[in-house]
Amino acid sequence: MIEVLGLSKHYGGRKAVDDVTFTARPGRVTGFLGPNGAGKSTTLRVLLGLDAPTSGRALVAGRRYRDLAQPLRTVGALLEGAGPVPERRAADHLMWLARSNRIPRRRVREVLDLTGLAEAARRRVKTYSLGMRQRLGIAAALLGEPDVLILDEPVNGLDPDGIRWVRDLLRDHAASGRTVLLSSHFMAETAGIADDVVIVHRGRVVVRGSLAEVTAGHASLEEAFFARTGDRTGGPR
Amino acid sequence: MTVRFRDLVAAERMKITTLPATWIALAVALAGHTLLGFAAGTDIVRVAGTAGPSPIGQTGTLMLAPAYALAAVAVLAAGGEHRAGQLRVTLAAVPCRDRLFAAKLATTAAFCLLASIPAALPGHLLRHAAAWPVGEWTGRFGASVAVQVLLGLVGFGFAVVASSVTVPMAVLVVLAVLGSPLLRSALPDVVRFLPHEAASSLAGMSPALGPVAGLAVLAGWAVVSVAVAWRVFVRRDG
């Protein structure tokens, strides 16, 4: 379970996130949607304890992220702009992560197999394609067999097979009773995966509910977004 | 079951040892110490100066150069986190910043200490083989190791604050190569308290402070640098 309660984050005078409230429930994929600059990544950074909130709370499994004893065993996260040092080998990257949270070494091999990177595990990350780096990020997120997955734009750089693989992975994860929060600006793609939807725009939640509720009366999730925001530019402020 | 401090230290050690740049820096430090130690010990190279050629062993800037290569290991350990956004990955794995910083600091200091011994020992043997009794020899070597560890910690703190590898290394090297020589005559009482001059004094290559005062000043720089870095690291958004 993820609970974001009245969360605000200001940078100087700019309100990146303004009184955002939503819940991502176990057993469901929650799409966290909005255009670039809407406040999605900022919300996720606060949720993961990377940035301090100006006000409000963000809880994972009922606790602040910073209070989790072994965070990687509770939450698996993939964030944009957060990756391994390019000169390090992929296996070494996963190995130090595993060690930091007392995750067994066998899990490194398992997630490399799961993400199709086993053959390339000894290669340095700088030799990876964008899609392979994305898979490595997902492997890191899955390392601790977490109950909660928080993924920011996970299909960026993936080919159609990879996108389908991510979709199946997230559906399976939720089907096993775990929580998935999927942040994306691809509305059509997310509509194919999400059970629930939270749409943010200019730092505020404009609508939240089940996919059926949010899209009721609209041809698509994208149309629902434009109808709610009145913004067809989709660009950041 | 919480994360143990020793697991954090082990993870940080893995980060340091799996970076090729770490081993390149150590190889450069070893080669530099060895070549300079040989040149100083045999006195086959002299450096031209206003008072005529002087032994290379009395040229602090040159003789300390390998120590900066080793300091780069510490700078990489701290500043390298900011490459490709790895710091966010690290903080997601270890959100308690005090524990993370403590683990990173302890690991880096220990690695610099252990790495400085094999890196500096051959050069020291070549340079000071005739410097007996053993007490004097080990004292000089201890000073050499202390210089490398403390310079590393100065660079470590600077790298955390600057969120960079290149900025702290550039500043440290520019201060040593340009800052000290250019300002020495104009501001001698200021220059001798700079890290490089304190390191030279500690290593016995400069009479500016003397070894004990040099140790105190360089340790002071290291403490201040690390303390500021710790405060910044804990408070700054990731």
B8 — contact with chain A (CB < 8 Å)? Answer: yes
Q: What is the pLDDT of residue A237?
A: 44
Q: Which residue of A has its CA nearest to B19?
A: A88
Phi, psi for residue A88 in degrees, rounded to 5:
-85, 150
Q: Which residues in chain B have their CB less than 8 angstroms from residue A77's CB?
A: 92
- Closest chain B CA to residue A47: B92
Using a CB-CB cut-off of 8 Å, the residues of chain A touching B18 are: 88-89, 92, 95-96
Yes or no: say if B238 and B222 are a contact pair by the CB < 8 Å rule. Answer: no
Q: Cβ B1–A102 below 8 Å, yes or no? A: yes
Cβ contact, residue pair B88, A102, below 8 Å: no
The CATH architecture one would assign to domain A1-61+147-237 is 3-Layer(aba) Sandwich (3.40)
Contact B11 A100 (CB under 8 A): yes
pLDDT tens per residue across span A103-116? 999 999 999 999 99
Q: Does B1 touch chain A (CB under 8 A)?
A: yes
Q: Which of B:27-86 have CB within 8 Å of A?
A: 80, 83-86
Question: Would the ipTM clear 0.90, i.e. be above it?
Answer: yes
User: Would you state the pLDDT for residue A22?
Assistant: 98
Domain count, chain B: 1
User: Looking at beta carbons, which residues of chain B come within 8 Å of A91?
Assistant: none
**A50 to B92: CB separation less than 8 angstroms, yes or no:** yes
> pLDDT tens, B53-94?
888 877 778 899 999 999 999 999 999 999 999 999 999 999
Say yes or no: A65 contacts chain B, CB-CB below 8 A. yes
Are the beta carbons of A102 and B92 separated by less than 8 Å?
no
Nearest to A87 among B10, B19, B93 (CB): B19
User: What does the pLDDT read at residue B220?
Assistant: 98
| Interchain proximity B95–A71, CB inside 8 Å | yes
Task: Supply the pLDDT for residue B152.
Answer: 97
Q: Report how far residue A147's alpha carbon sits from residue A158's, in angstroms, rounded to the nearest whole number.
A: 24
Which pLDDT score is estimated for B132?
59
Please check whether residue B92 touches A, CB under 8 A: yes
3-class SS at B51?
coil
The residues, ordered by sequence, that sit 6+ positions from A141 with a Cβ below 8 Å of its Cβ are: A76, A77, A78, A149, A150, A151
Place A235 in a pLDDT band, splitting at 50, 70 and 90: very low
Domain with CATH 3.40.50.300 in chain A: 1-61+147-237
Q: How far apart are alpha carbons A18 and A48 in whole angstroms? A: 17
* Residue B189 touches partner A, C-beta closer than 8 Å: no
Give average pLDDT by consecutive 10-residue segment, chain B, 238 residues.
Answer: 89 98 97 93 82 79 92 96 94 96 98 96 86 72 95 97 96 88 84 92 88 96 98 90
Shortest CA gap A228–chain B (Å): 32
pLDDT digits (tens, 9 = 90+) for A59-79: 999 999 999 989 999 999 999
d(CA A103, CA A147): 15
A26/A61 Cα distance (integer angstroms): 10
CA dihedral B83, B84, B90, B95 (to 10 degrees): 100
Q: How far is CA B164 from its chain centroid?
A: 16
pLDDT for the residue A232:
59
Domain residue limits at B100: 5-235
Query: What DSSP string describes A181-200?
Result: EEEES-HHHHHTT-SEEEEE
Mean pLDDT on A125-150: 97
Q: What percent of chain A lies above the pLDDT cut of 70?
A: 97
Q: What is the pLDDT of residue B228?
A: 98
Output phi, psi for B47, to 5 deg: -105, 130
What pLDDT score does B133 carry?
63
- Whether residues A101 and B83 touch (CB distance < 8 A) is answered with no
Q: With a cut of 80, say whether residue A134 has pLDDT above it.
A: yes
Mean pLDDT for A208-230 is 90
Please tell me the predicted confidence (pLDDT) of residue A234.
46
Whether the predicted pLDDT of A231 surpasses 80: no
Closest by Cβ to A83, choosing from B1, B15, B86: B86
Is the CB of residue A183 less than 8 Å from the CB of residue A152? yes
Predicted local distance difference test score (pLDDT) of residue B180: 80
Give the helix ranges, DSSP H, for chain B. Answer: 5-17, 20-42, 60-63, 65-79, 86-93, 97-128, 134-162, 166-174, 180-183, 188-191, 195-202, 211-235
Q: Do A82 and B88 touch (CB under 8 A)?
A: yes
Residue of B nearest to A140 (CA): B89
* List of chain A residues whose C-beta atoms are within 8 Å of the C-beta of residue B95: 48-49, 65-66, 68, 71
Model confidence at A236: pLDDT above 50:
no
- Least confident range from A54-63, A135-144, A145-154, B125-134: namely B125-134
Distance from CA of B160 to the nearest CA of A (A): 16
- Of A68, A114, A121, the residue nearest A94 (C-alpha): A121
Task: Check A140 against B89: CB less than 8 A apart.
Answer: yes
